[in-house]
Amino acid sequence: PHRRDNWDKLQIILQPVGGLFTALAIALLGIFSS
């Protein structure tokens, strides 16, 4: 149960970070492809 709790915290932390990285990757792709 303790390990599961850590995974839940990690997911909560990583969700917005993952969205930020996705937006950053799309922005970089747009810059490099043009």
Residues 18-21: contacts with CB under 8 Å, at least 24 apart: none
**pLDDT tens readout for residues 1-34:** 678 888 899 889 889 999 999 999 999 999 999 8
Q: What is the pLDDT of residue 2?
A: 77
Q: What is the pLDDT of residue 23?
A: 94
Q: What is the pLDDT of residue 7?
A: 87
CA distance 34 to 29: 9
Q: What is the pLDDT of residue 30?
A: 96
Structure tokens at 4: 């599961």
Q: What is the pLDDT of residue 3?
A: 82
